[in-house]
Structures are given as C-alpha cells and as structure tokens.
Amino acid sequence: MHFWFVCNKCGKESPFNLKESKCDCGGTLLVEYDLERVSKTLTKERLKNRSTSMWRYSELLPVENEKNIVSLGEGWTPLVRMNQAEEKYPVKKLWIKREEQNPTGSFKSRGFSSAISIANEYGVSKVAVNSNGNAASALAAYASYAGMESHVFVPKDCPGLIVDECVQYGASTFLVNGLIHDAGKIIEDGKQEQGWYNVGTLKEPGRAEGKKTMGLELAEQFNWNLPDVIVYPTGGGSGVIGIWNAFQQLKQLGFIEGDLPRMVSVQELGCDPIVSAMENDSDFNSQTENVISKPTGMRVPNPPDGDLIVSILRETNGTAVTVSKEEIEQAQKTNGAQGISSSPEGAATWAGFTRLVEQGWIKEDDEVVLFNTSHAMKYLPWEATGTPTIKTYEDWKKVSENVLI
C-alpha cells in the first residue's frame, strides 16, 4: 500500500485502517503517501489532461483500485471573482469558491465521495452518520449511488429541507432529540449490533482526505501561487485540516513554495470554542455549556480535532472570528445581491471577511478567498415531513422494529 497513517502529535506510523482517525496519544492520524511514487504520475503537466472531478488527484487519495471510486461529479468547483466588492472594500483581490455547486449542493460531497469509495474498497454495505445536515444528505447520495444502505441521525432542529433530501436519496433518516454528539452516540451504541460503518466526523480517514482536495484544487486554480488569506466556516474542522494538509503535501511534492495562506476560521456566536482558544491564547477546550447557536454545520461544541485546528490557525498566522446570527443573515442578503446563493455557513465567511477588513487584519494588498459551502435555499424554515424523532439507540431499535412490523 502506498499510503499509511502518521500521528500529527507523536509522529508514530501505523498501517492505514478504515475505522481509525485518532492515535492512542490523542493526536490525529493523517494519511501519508509515498510521495516519491506519487510524483512519478502526478505532475502539473499531466493534470491538464485529467478529468475535472476531485479524482484528478487520485494519487493523493487513499483508494488503491480506481474501480472502487464512487464519483457523482464532485470537485473542480468555480472560483468567482467579486469585482463589485473589490471596488468597495480595501482588498487587492477577492474570490468566492463555490462549493455549493457540488453534486449534493455542498462541499460535503467531497468527503463522502472519498469515504464511500474507501468503504466500497473494503466491501462495507451499511453506513451511518451523525450530522447537522449537509453531511447527512451527502452520505445518503453517495451510499445510494454505490448501492449501500445508509442510516442518518440529525438533531431535530436540523433544516427540514436537508432532512427531506436524505429521505429523497433513500437513507433511513432519524431526527435526534439532542445535539450532533448525541446523534453520534446512537451510532456508536448501535454500530456493533447493526454492522454500521460510522462515517461521522473524524471517525474514519476518508472525509478529511476528500476535503483535502479543496486545497489541492485551490492551489491548481491559482496556478500554484496561493492567495494570502483563506476564510472558512468551522464546525468539526475537517475542511480547515484538509486544506492545510493539502498544502503540506504540495510543498513536499515541490508544487508550491513559500508561506502558506493565513487560515481563518469563522464560527457563530453561541458555539465558538475555536475562537475562544485563539482569543485566550490557550489550549483548545470543548465548549461544554451555553451552546445556543443555530443548527448549522458550524455548531460543533467539541470538535474531535480542536487542538489541530487551533495549531493550524497559529502556524499560518491566521485567526478565528465569531459572527452573530444577525450578521450572517445580513451577509446572506449581501451575497444574494451580488448573485451568490449562500448558506448560513457560507455567508458567515462574508461576515467574517467584512469584520476582518474593519479590524484592519485583512489588508489592502491581500488576495482573499471565501469558501461558500452550501446553497441558501437548503435552509428555508421548512418542516421535515414525517421523519421520526428519537433520543437513544434503544429508541431507534423500537422505532425501526415498528417500521419493520
């Protein structure tokens, strides 16, 4: 196998395994590749002739046999230059990376194309995920396309349209009376008995690897000269980790050089543990109370890799910023009026951008990229139709028995 795990904390190497992503020491297991082998086939020149999906970088994704790839046309999303905004704000160049143009209407398509491809390679037939929304519908779509059974568990205040999307994609779908980690506990409690493969954030290595393609792609779209600042909405953080990891690998391959872009995490007021650690100049701690933000992809009070996210922001001279619900709503309108449909998470990057411009943190000669992670329309105040609500794995067993009878 030309890829294996390396712990980002203790440095220990171990064989690649589809059911791990954390080291015994508490560090994160990143996938490392035989870059000498990779560099024989992955060249800037050859890339020009490849398919425009994220699988153009297949040497840097942990799938051995190309026939196992499960692709619905994810990646190679457009970068749109925001000309009107450049005239209004003191910034050199501004782009929005349109991740909402992925197959399931969000950047989550990338992580699940990769995770489900790995699952496919290992013959997995039943997959499960906990999510605040877009990850659930992405899992559902990729699992169905691959012919796998999917089980999704989302907080009951998750956007109803996304819940209905999961049902549309054929997933067995449940609302959970609790937050995203309560939903995750149901999967952990049931996975042995039910044979579920848990595809939750950082429960397996595929999702972070898939998101890495955002960084690979950004570098290639910028002709291997990276922008100065990247603004990303942060919940579980695998987006930030993936992009940073991409840049590390591209440096080692000699595709890029120099300083990395300053990475910025945006969180919502009411759930911002990354911002707390950055502002207090302290170690990362989960947020244990007062989680009062809206149910978006940013609402993750205890991201399994908070340490790593914080260290990436520090290492790149980045920062983290909290924005309010009202600022997000205003940013959705502003983006709409410039022709861009933004989810709350995507709009949060616009709100973070304007805040950092005001603070003088983003400067006149900066080239800035904002990630628009999903469409506005997925977040209508629509009520999901007929999806049952549960609290525990025991509840699930009862409900699913009833469904079966």
Q: Which amino acid is at 81?
A: R
User: Of 163, 162, 160, 119, which Cα lies nearest the Cα of 143?
Assistant: 119
Interacting span for its own copies (CB under 8 A) from 26-34, 49-57, 198-206, 275-283: 49-57
- Does the protein bind its own copies through residue 101 (CB under 8 A)? yes
- 105 touching its own copies, by CB under 8 A: yes
φ and ψ at residue 33, rounded to 5 degrees: -120, 155
Of these, 77, 131, 172, 373, which contacts its own copies (CB under 8 A)? Answer: 77
Whose CA is closest to 375, among 400, 347, 395? 347
Near its own copies by CB under 8 A: residue from 102, 106, 172, 319: 102
Cα 266 from Cα 268, distance rounded (Å): 7
Question: Smallest Cα–Cα separation from 124: which of 133, 107, 112, 110?
Answer: 112
The CA-to-CA distance between both ends of the chain, in Å, stands at 45
* Using rule CB under 8 A, residue 181 touches its own copies: no
| Residue 134 near its own copies by CB under 8 A | no
Q: Which two tokens stand for residue 366?
A: 């900066």
Distance (Å, rounded) from C-alpha 303 to C-alpha 307? 9
Spell out, one character per residue from 136 to 165, where the chain touches its own copies: x when CB under 8 A holds, - when not: -----xxxxxxx-------------x--xx
Q: In the complex, what is the shortest distance from the CB of residue 150 to its own copies, in angstroms, rounded to a whole number?
A: 10
Stretch of residues binding its own copies (CB under 8 A), selected from 25-33, 67-75, 253-261, 275-283: 67-75
**Among 98, 156, 181, 191, which residue sits at the site for its own copies (rule: CB under 8 A)?**
98
Half-sphere exposure of 364 (CA within 13 A, CB side): 0
Contact status, residue 152 vs residue 131, Cβ threshold 8 Å: yes
Residue 261: name the closest of 272, 246, 275 by CA: 246
Residue with Cβ nearer its own copies (5 or 350): 350
The residue within the footprint of its own copies, chosen from 382, 392, 395, 399 (CB under 8 A), is: 382
- What are the b/e assignments for 176-186, b being 16+ CB within 10 Å? bebbbbebbbb
Name which position in 1, 41, 48, 193 contacts its own copies (CB under 8 A): 48
Site string for its own copies, 347-376 (x = CB under 8 A): ----------------------------xx
Residue 35: its H or E element: helix 35-41
| Residues in contact with its own copies, shown as a per-residue x/- string from 306 to 345 under the rule CB under 8 A | --------------------------xx--xxxxxx----
**Residue ranges binding its own copies (CB under 8 A):** 48-49, 52-53, 71-73, 76-80, 84, 98, 101-105, 141-147, 161, 164-165, 168-170, 332-333, 336-341, 375-378, 380, 382
